[in-house]
Structure 1
Amino acid sequence: MGAVLVNSSEGHGVIEKAVWNVTDVESALEQLGAGNNATVISAADDGFFFPGFIDSHIHAPQYPNLGLFEGTLLDWLAKYTFPMESSLSTTQSPLYANSSTPPDPYARAKEVYTEVIAKTLAYGTTTASYFATIDVEATNILASLAYSMGQRAYIGRTCQDNQEYNPSYYKDESTAEAINNTWASINYIQSLDPTGDLVAPIVTPRFAPSCTNESMTALGEIANQTDLRLQMHISENVKEVALVAEMYPQQNSYAGVYDAHNLLTGRTVLAHGVHLSDDEMNLIAARGSGVSHCPASNSALGSGLCQVRKLLSKGIKVGLGTDAAGGYSPSMLENVRQAFLVSRTLSYLDNDNRTLDVPTTLALWLGTMGSAQVVSMEGRLGGFEPGMLWDVQEVSLHSDGPVKIFGWEEWYERVQKWVWNGGEENVMRVWVGGRLVSQRD
């Protein structure tokens, strides 16, 4: 049994000390030096505390589209993604084409965003790096909800000023508008939480085809001036990679396009990275950027198999993301499973090369400590070390749930069973920064 001492005197819970191999509450309190007046929170006999999951790539406005697919990436974007995202900010969305009285898009945004925050918290996701929409007001709604509901969130208004490669009904009308709206979103989010400790803006050029050279240059300057995080897609799909090569012949790679605009920094989250070349991996490693591995999405959209072990061997930070709704589930635990399965397929295709395997222990690390590195929170999130924030989920393997425990299993085996059979019903309580933000009835 382990125990940690959490100090909440500064208004947010920080782990002050941890001890392991204690046998009871009294000895834990003594070793922690907590005193008898400390509030004691214990997991049930059939449960344990686990670090909160960190979803390093998720699209909040796509939540209603979970499980809807059409062709590969570019087809899916056109049929499902852009219509849904635009419906949260304008009555000109194709989803309202046959409606004589379309609903208030901002009321719709509030409904969707409230649900995605509540659901991801219920799944044990304490931190999420969200793509929002191009609309400032809708993005501000997401930020306000995350702040009030207590989820740690990095929220980005997507930049889409390329007039040729964005839908006519869903784009920034000019580069100047895109940059002005980016600043407006940044300013609002920082006014909500000036410390950036809970909710912070993240500069978000959606992906190279959606942006112009001018906007990418400007966004790189904004991020470097303000030391903000950046997030964007890279090398998710072979047709996307070919399109970028066609659009930017002056650069020798997709990663090279971003680097030419100073978008590859030590605070950059690159979603997917399925089809990166060795040279691109070396460049990303040199810049200190991280990759968000989204295995469920990559499999569902037929995008390919990400070389996680190779990325790690190159010194690249790697975390996990759901990429909802490219991923069919907002559950990070599901992506822990899929990271394992994708790696086993890669191993088989490479003459049964088991050095490519991502075992469940590593997959869990990717969803916590790895993602913490990717979102620039290494040493602050993802574990139970002193100085880390108390972002934690309480897991229960109760007898009426999907995880069947007979009593003779070692704890390592119980955790394995949770990984493969567990779900939302096993998450009893969730804390972010020491604040209880989700509790199962």
Structure 2
Amino acid sequence: MNEKLKAYRAAILHSLADPSEVGIEQSYQYFEDGVLLVEDGRVVKVGAAEDLLPTLKGVEVVEYRDALITPGFIDTHIHYPQTGMIASYGEQLLDWLNTYTFPTERQFADKAHASDVANIFLKELLRNGTTTALVFGTVHKQSVDAFFEAAQALNLRMIAGKVLMDRNAPDYLTDTAESGYADSKELIERWHGKGRLHYAVTPRFAPTSTPEQLTLAGKLLAEYPDLYMHTHLSENRKEIEWVRELFPERSGYLDVYDHYRLLGARSVFAHGVHLCDHECQRLGETGSAIAFCPTSNLFLGSGLFDLDKLERHGVRVGLGTDVGAGTSFSQLQSLNEAYKVLQLQGKKLDPFKSLYLATLGGARALYLDDKIGNFAQGKDADFVVLDYRATPLMTYRLQQANTLEEKLFALMTLGDDRAVKETFATGQSVHRRG
């Protein structure tokens, strides 16, 4: 038996391109009875079972009935320290930060606590089929060490960074411009590019960093050109007014980040709910990305995300859960809410566009589409097995479905962690539903 090769048989679906650019029919590839062939953690081939099975003599074939294999989901904005405060009673953003977030993050000064939460957090991601995420730590550098140690043990492709916050926060959660720079540099040298790990320079948002700290954040990006930059932008109208008061010399919220050289490829801004056309144009010009976080935006009453406007300006868009303001680790549930956000604006979100946002679109937003996001040959074998019979209601509903589009939409609307039968990272099972 060839022990290096392994094959997985089920219905298989993956995105090939953005439906907005190539049309729905050209945007995906589907095999009703398919085989995914994996070797040494990478995709070798995907195709119809009738074509591939005769060529696989001596290769173990793992078969899943009533199941759909898709690429692993990609979360482009989430806070691991907020795992323990998910589903805290909703407030407006700034009150919610002071009431729930900051006291919760204080505990991450303790490395043992950070390690415990990191392990719980990663288990939740994998239970929900998410194999890559762009993750906030806390201001404590040990919170990032704890997260990367846990992610490395599972060989996951993860991006994270230490929060930079030297004003407008409790004393127990602030650093200084200089210490934030030094701690970040130390973490970059220790973790960036180690295995499948990447580092993100992470100012929390403009109001909690002085001009001096933002300047040094820009310096880090210049010193290490392949780093990520991860922060928040235009989530809440009161937040936007606060930015104007703190930076009266700048023309707007995005201009603050632009001035301090924080825009560019691999810069990811969470939310972007209230952006003007000029800001969208600038994001598109610089190759920056926006993380669309529907459950969070609805939960905190921030507003409705205008996907069409951003895409008209060529902005890369990924999907984020934003736990703990977000109410679920499940990207299926994020897509359920994303559909409603667009419906409230008189717009549509096609199921194949949803698939793209949760997989290849997220990879593209993170400039990782050469490594993850679909089943192109040579990409990392990160994938999820979704169970069509996860619940009695889903079983019954899918019996009524006549098209792939209808099945996919029902799965995204009714699905959650119960729909995830198994999750794989580089061809290794990292979660199997009990």
User: What TM-score results when the alignment is normalised by the length of structure 2?
Assistant: 0.88
Identify the residue that residue 145 of structure 1 maps to in structure 2.
150
- Is 1:130 matched with 2:154? no
Q: Which runs of 5+ in 2 are unaligned?
A: 1-32
1:85 aligns with 2:105: yes
AA partner of residue 277 (structure 2): D
Write out aligned runs for 1:6-25 (5 A): 6-8=38-40, 13-20=41-48, 22-23=49-50
Aligned to 1:358: 349
What residue in structure 1 maps to residue 53 of structure 2? 29
Mapping of 1:28-107 within 5 angstroms?
28-30=52-54, 33=55, 35-44=56-65, 46-89=66-109, 105-107=110-112
Letter of the 2:260 counterpart: H
- Rounded Cα–Cα distance in structure 1 between residues aligned with 2:345 and 2:330: 23
Instruction: Give the corresponding residue for 2:22.
Output: none
SS, match of residue 169 in structure 1: helix
Q: Equivalent of 1:432, from 413, 425, 428?
A: 425
Aligned-partner Cα distance in 2 for 1:258–1:62: 25
Give the structure 2 partner of residue 209 of structure 1.
Answer: 207
**Percent identical:** 32
Q: Find the counterpart in structure 1 of residue 254 from structure 2.
A: 255
- Corresponding residue number in structure 1 for 2:216: 218
Residues 157 and 203 in structure 1, CA contact (< 8 A), matched pair in contact too: yes
Deviation track 1:107-138 (CA, whole Å, cap 9, x = no partner) reads 32222221111011010001111100010112
Measure, in 1, the Cα distance between the counterparts of 2:358 and 2:406: 19
1:408 positional shift: 5.4
| Matched-pair contact (CA < 8 Å) for 2:318–2:361 | yes
Q: Give the root-mean-square deviation of aligned CA atoms.
A: 1.6
Q: Is the 8 A contact 1:236 1:303 kept in 2?
A: yes
Residues 408 and 74 (structure 1 numbering): CA distance in 2 closer, same or farther, change over 3 Å? closer
Contact 1:390 1:433 in 2 (8 A): yes
Q: Is the 8 A contact 1:337 1:360 kept in 2?
A: no
Work out whether residues 322 and 332 of structure 1, in 8 Å CA contact, stay in contact via their aligned partners in 2. Answer: yes
Alignment of 1:29-428 (within 5 A): 29-30=53-54, 33=55, 35-44=56-65, 46-89=66-109, 105-162=110-167, 165-172=168-175, 174-190=176-192, 194-195=194-195, 198-226=196-224, 227-347=226-346, 356-398=347-389, 400-405=391-396, 407=399, 409-410=401-402, 411-428=404-421
2:12 is aligned to none
Shift of 1:37: 2.1
SS for the counterpart of 2:377 is coil
> Which structure shows the higher strand fraction?
2
The code of the aligned residue for 1:41 comes to: V
- C-alpha displacement at 1:344, in angstroms? 0.4
Q: For residues 199 and 245 of structure 1, do their structure 2 counterparts lie closer, same or farther at Cα, with a shift above 3 Å needed?
A: same
Partner of residue 95, structure 1: none
Residue 199 of structure 1 deviates from its aligned partner by 1.7
* Deviation readout 1:184-233 (Å, 9 max, x if unpaired): 2222323xx634xx222111111111111122121122123212111110
For residue 363 of structure 1, report the CA deviation from its aligned partner. 2.0
CA contact (8 A) 1:401 1:426 kept: no
Q: 2:90, 2:299 within 8 Å by CA — same for their partners in 1? A: no
Q: Secondary structure at the match of 2:251?
A: coil
- After TM superposition, give the deviation of residue 70 of structure 1 in Å: 4.1
Cα distance in 2 for partners of 1:142, 1:220 equals 24
Q: 5+ unaligned residues in a row in structure 1: which ranges?
A: 90-104, 348-355
Instruction: State the partner residue of 1:92.
Output: none
Q: Is the 8 A contact 1:134 1:171 kept in 2?
A: yes
Q: TM-score, normalised by structure 1?
A: 0.87
Distance 1:380 1:106 in 2: 31
Aligned equivalents of 1:5, 1:149: Cα separation in 2: 21
Question: Structure 1, residues 79-113: CA drift from partner, whole Å, max 9, x if none?
Answer: 00011011221xxxxxxxxxxxxxxx333222222
Higher mean C-alpha displacement, 413-422 vs 397-406: 397-406
3-state SS of 2:381 partner: coil
- Cα offset, 1:295, TM superposition: 0.6
1: CA distance, partners of 2:261 / 2:183:
20
Q: C-alpha offsets along residues 33-57 of structure 1, whole Å, 9 cap, x if unaligned? A: 5x4122322222x111011110000
Aligned length: 399
